[in-house]
Amino acid sequence: MRLILFGPPGGGKGTQARLLSEELRIPHISTGDMLRAAVAGGTELGRRAKTLMEAGHLVPDDVMIGIVREVLSSPAVRRGFILDGFPRTLQQAEALTAIFRDLGIRDCRVINFDLEDEEIIRRLAHRLVCGADGKIFSAEAEGLSPGSPCPDCGGPLVQRRDDDPETVRLRLRVYHSTTAPLLRYYQETGEVCTVDGSGSIDIVHREICMLLER
Ligand code: AMP
């Protein structure tokens, strides 16, 4: 199965992608996670991306397209994949269509996460990420705080620098101006299913599974 999870930052794509990846046994390709790993590793890519990411801006298209082309060309994704955080611009979407054509991929479905900005701002204010394995938690719902050990692996929980309220507002502006219009591109060229992203993790997961069974 090949999926693109599409939607705003903080909309639950990463959490749902992890669940689907475990259940369907196909790789979760998160461009955000790949960039954060590059920043943590101090690579050339990480140095280029760090300031842009922390400020809530997008990393240039040519860089992102090169990364995704390489990953999708690898044998590890032959049985399927879940793309999370890519594409984010029309140029990326068009490049992805060309990559799919080159690789003979015809059956990729788009799942669109629909939720209000207010809910996103509220969620991101409480989002904590495990510094060791990248798992996502809600400080509010789970009684955790920055520095608490990850309930799963004991790694340190941190708040992402780009989750501060001002940067979140900028990321949402970038999403609405640059990324959200891509939905029309996919509605014209392929199959898009929309889920109500405002529900609990379990409810959204069940809704996605029902859509995929159709
Ligand atoms: P995410 O974890 O998906 O919210 O991504 C975190 C940050 O990484 C974004 O705010 C961008 O700065 C950068 N990023 C991730 N994916 C992309 C992409 N497809 N195009 C441009 N920048 C990206």
The pLDDT, as a whole number, for residue 31 is 98
pLDDT tens-digit readout, 78-98: 999 999 999 999 999 999 999
**Of the given ranges (8-17, 23-32, 131-140), which has the lowest mean pLDDT?**
131-140
Residues 6 or more apart whose Cβ sits within 8 Å of residue 64: 31, 58, 86, 88, 92
3-state secondary structure of 190: coil
pLDDT recorded at residue 133? 85
Give the pLDDT confidence score for residue 189 in this predicted structure.
81
As a whole number, mean pLDDT of residues 111-132 equals: 95
Ligand 1: centre distance to CA 32 (Å): 5
b/e for 10-29, b at 16 or more Cβ within 10 A?
Answer: bbbbbbbbbbbbeebebbbb
Q: Examine the residue annotation and report whether 122 is marked as an active-site residue of this protein.
A: no
pLDDT over 90 at 191, yes or no:
no
Q: What is the pLDDT of residue 7?
A: 98
Q: What confidence score (pLDDT) does residue 142 get?
A: 87
Active-site residue flag, 127: yes
Residue 31 near ligand 1, beta carbon < 6 Å? yes
Ligand 1 atom at shortest distance from the alpha carbon of 56: 10
Establish whether residue 13 lines the binding site of ligand 1, counting it when its CB lies within 6 angstroms of any ligand atom: no
Nearest to 94 by CA among 124, 61, 120: 61
Catalytic member of 101, 171, 184, 214: 171
Given a cut of 90, whether residue 167 has pLDDT beyond it is yes
Q: Mean per-residue pLDDT for 39-65?
A: 96
113 lines ligand 1 (CB under 6 A): no
Model pLDDT, residue 111: 98
